[in-house]
Structure 1
Amino acid sequence: MRVVRVREFGTPEVLRVEEMPEPEPGAGQVVVAVETAGVGYGDVIVRSGGYPFPLPYVPGLEVGGQVVAVGPGTDRSLLGRRVVATTVGNTGGYGERALAPAAWTFPVPNELALPVALAVFQAGAVASGMLTAMRVRDGETVLITAAAGRIGSLLVQLAKAAGATVIGAAGADKAAAVEDFGADHAVDYGAGDWPDRVRALSGGGVDVVLDAIGGEIGAQALEAAADGRGRFGIYGFASGTWLPLDAQVLARRGLTVAGPLGAVFAKPDAEQRDDAERALAAAADGRLRPRIHATYPLDRAADAHAEIERRRSVGAVLLAVPA
C-alpha cells in the first residue's frame, strides 16, 4: 500500500510517498481503508523537528473510511462500517490503510459527510473539553487566538453556545471567517494595539483567554486578560515558541494560568469518547459547523503542510486517499 513517510525532519519536502505492507490488526484493533486523513498543526511541528519523535514514521493521527478488518476479540459489527478513528500510536494516517484501536473508532451518522465528521470528532471533543476545563460560564467574555483555525473555529462556536461573548483574534484576512463562525468581535492580531482593543471591547479585560499561538502573540493575549479574575489557557505554540511566563507579573495581576489541553487528555478514556460522540452528534444536527479549508491528494501531503505553515488555512486541512 502507499503511505507518506518521514525519514528525516525538515521542510514539507521530507514527506515522501513510499510502499509498505498493509497493517495486520491485533487484539482490540481494526484496519481502516482510509478515504480521508486529517492534517493538523501538530503534524507540522513533529515533521519539522519541533517535537521529539522516532524516525522513520508515517504521520497522521485521524482517519475516516471503512473498516475492512478487525483483530481477535474485536467487535465484528464494525466490519464494513463507515467510521472516523484515531490511529494506533498517533501515526499511520497518511496512507491507504491505517491501524486504529477499536475503542477509538466511531461510526459516522448517516446524515454526516465523512470529511465533515473527520474535521469535527476530535477537534470538537478537544474544544468542548477545554471550555469545561477553563470553567467558561454564561455572561463571561472569552478571547480565542487562532480563531479561524480548526480548533479555534469550534471554540468560537461552543463558547457562544455556552453564553459567552466571544472575541476572536486572527489575521486581518480571516476576520470575516471569524465572524462567520459566530464571534461577536474579530480583531487583527497583526495590529500592534490589538490587546488594547480587546480590553476596550471587554470593558477592561476578558475573563478567559484560550491561546494556541504562544510567543509574542500569546504574550499580547495575556495583556488582554482581566486583572484579578482573568484565566489564561495555553494549548499550543503555533508561533514555534511557548508563551514566556513571569510569575511575579501573574501574582501582581492576579491571573490564573492553566493547561486545558492537558486536562482534556488526562480525563478517563470513557469521558473522552463521550466528548467525541457528542461532537459528531452536534455536527450531525447542525450545532457545530466545521469548515474544510482544502483537501489535497495523498501525494501532495507536502502542499497541505505548506498551506498550514503559511497560516493560510481557515478550518481543517485534509488529505483525500483514492480507493
Structure 2
Amino acid sequence: MHAIRLHTHGPAENLTYEKTEDPEPGPGQVRIAVAAAGVHLLDAALREGGQGPGPAPAPLPTIPGREVAGTVESLGEGVAHLWLGKRVVAHLGFAPGGYAELAVTDVDRLHEIPENLDFAQAVAMIGTGRTAMGILQFASLGPGSVAVVPAAAGGVGTLLVQYAKHAGATVIGLAGGPEKVARVRANGADLALDYTDPDWVGQADEYRGKATIVFDGVGGETAKAAVGLLGPGGKHLVFGWSAEGISHGRPLLIDGVSEQVLGPVMLGRAGGPNPVRTLELRALTEAAAGRLSPAVQRFPLSEAAAAHRALETRNTIGKVVLEP
C-alpha cells in the first residue's frame, strides 16, 4: 500500500508519500480500505515532536493519523462476518496509522456510516463532530441566546453555527477573509464578520452586552474582543487556542466568565461506560438526521504536507481530509 510516513520530527515537508507493507488485522480487528483520513491540528503538533494523547509519542518512523473512513475488506480472528464490506468510520485511539490506503483497528471502534453521509463527511463527524457535541454539553441554547463563534468557518465552528441556529439562537460568526466570511453567512449566521478587519467589533456593536455565550477555539486578541460582547451571566467556553499555536499557546481564561471544556472535563460530562463513543454516536446521529452538515476540505493523500501547511496557516475551510 501507499502511506504517508514520518521519519524525523519537524516541518510538514518531513511527511513523505511512500510504498510500505500492508497491515494485517489481529484478533478482534478489521482492515479498512481507507477512503478518507482526517487531519487534525494535533497531528501537526505530534509531527513537530510534541506530546499528544497516550503514554508516549509513537516511535519513528510512523504513519500519522487517527481518524479513518472506508470499507471493511479483511477480518481478524473472532470478528463477525457481517462486518465484511461495510462502510465504516473509526477513531483509531492512541494508535496512529490513518494516513494510508489501508488501516487496522479494533472492531469495537467501528461505526457504520449513515447512508446520507460520504466517507469524508463521516470522518469529519467522528472527530470534529465528536468535539462539537462535547462542547455543546456545556451550552444552553435557545431562542433567547446570542452565540459568538470565532473561527466559524472551521470544522468545529461550522457545526456550532448550525447547531445554534437549529436551537433558535442568534449567531455571530467570525472568520478571516471575505471567502470564509461568505461561507459563514451561507451556513446560517445572522451576522458574519471578518476578524481581520480592525473595526469588526464596532460592526457587532448592536450586540454588545447581549451575547450569552462565546464558543472559543481560537484564543488571542479575537477571543478577548469576543468576550467583550458578553452580557451579565454570559459564558466563555474555551476548547482551544489555535491563534497562539496548539503546541505553545495557553487558553484565555477570565475568572467568573470562562470555562475550559477540553479533555477529561468534556468526557466526564458525556458519561456512560465509553464517553468517547457516546459523543461519536451523538455526532453521527445529528448528521444522519440532517441537523448538522460538516464542511470538508479535501486533499489527495500524497499531498499530506500541503494539507498540514494549510491547516497550520489557517488557510482551510472546514475539516481537512486526505483521500487516497
Tell me the TM-score range normalised by the shorter chain: 0.7 to 0.9
Considering only aligned residues, what root-mean-square deviation do their CA atoms show, in Å?
2.3
Instruction: Report the CA distance shift for 1:176/1:224 in structure 2 as closer, same or farther (over 3 A).
Output: same
**8 Å contact from structure 2 (residues 4, 100) kept in 1:** yes
For 2:59 and 2:66, the matched residues in 1 are separated by 16
Q: Which moved more, 1:185-194 or 1:259-268?
A: 259-268
Q: Which residue of 1 aligns with 2:135?
A: 130
Q: Which residue of 2 aligns with 1:238?
A: 242
For 1:25 and 1:71, the matched residues in 2 are separated by 5
List runs of 5+ in structure 2 lacking aligned partners.
Answer: none
> Secondary structure in 2 aligned to 1:191?
coil
For 1:229 and 1:194, the matched residues in 2 are separated by 23
For 2:314 and 2:189, the matched residues in 1 are separated by 20
Q: Which residue of 2 aligns with 1:33?
A: 33
**8 Å contact from structure 1 (residues 9, 47) kept in 2:** yes
What one-letter code is carried by the residue in structure 2 that aligns with 1:243? P
Q: Does 1:220 align with 2:225?
A: yes
Q: 1:287 aligns with which of 278, 286, 291?
A: 291
Q: Which moved more, 1:310-319 or 1:139-148?
A: 310-319
Q: 2:313 aligns with which of 303, 307, 310?
A: 310
Instruction: Report the CA distance shift for 1:170/1:258 in structure 2 as closer, same or farther (over 3 A).
Output: same
Q: Equivalent residues in 2 for 1:151-170 (5 A)?
A: 151-170=156-175
For 1:164 and 1:317, the matched residues in 2 are separated by 27
**8 Å contact from structure 1 (residues 32, 97) kept in 2:** yes
Q: Which moved more, 1:150-159 or 1:40-49?
A: 40-49
Q: Which residue of 2 aligns with 1:10?
A: 10
Instruction: Report the CA distance shift for 1:196/1:255 in structure 2 as closer, same or farther (over 3 A).
Output: farther
For 1:5 and 1:153, the matched residues in 2 are separated by 30
**8 Å contact from structure 2 (residues 67, 126) kept in 1:** no
Instruction: Report the CA distance shift for 1:191/1:83 in structure 2 as closer, same or farther (over 3 A).
Output: same
Q: Equivalent residues in 2 for 1:95-134 (5 A)?
A: 95-134=100-139
Q: Does 1:320 align with 2:323?
A: yes
> Secondary structure in 1 aligned to 2:74?
strand
Q: What is the number of residues matched between the two proteins?
A: 312
> Secondary structure in 2 aligned to 1:313?
coil
Q: 1:182 aligns with which of 177, 180, 188?
A: 188
Q: Does 1:264 align with 2:266?
A: yes
The Cα of 1:310 is off from its aligned counterpart by 2.6
The Cα of 1:242 is off from its aligned counterpart by 2.0
For 1:116 and 1:244, the matched residues in 2 are separated by 31
Instruction: Report the CA distance shift for 1:26/1:220 in structure 2 as closer, same or farther (over 3 A).
Output: farther
**8 Å contact from structure 2 (residues 171, 190) kept in 1:** yes
What one-letter code is carried by the residue in structure 2 that aligns with 1:188? D
Give the TM-score normalised by the residue count of structure 1.
0.87
The Cα of 1:147 is off from its aligned counterpart by 0.6
Give the TM-score normalised by the residue count of structure 2.
0.86
The Cα of 1:65 is off from its aligned counterpart by 0.8
For 1:220 and 1:101, the matched residues in 2 are separated by 44
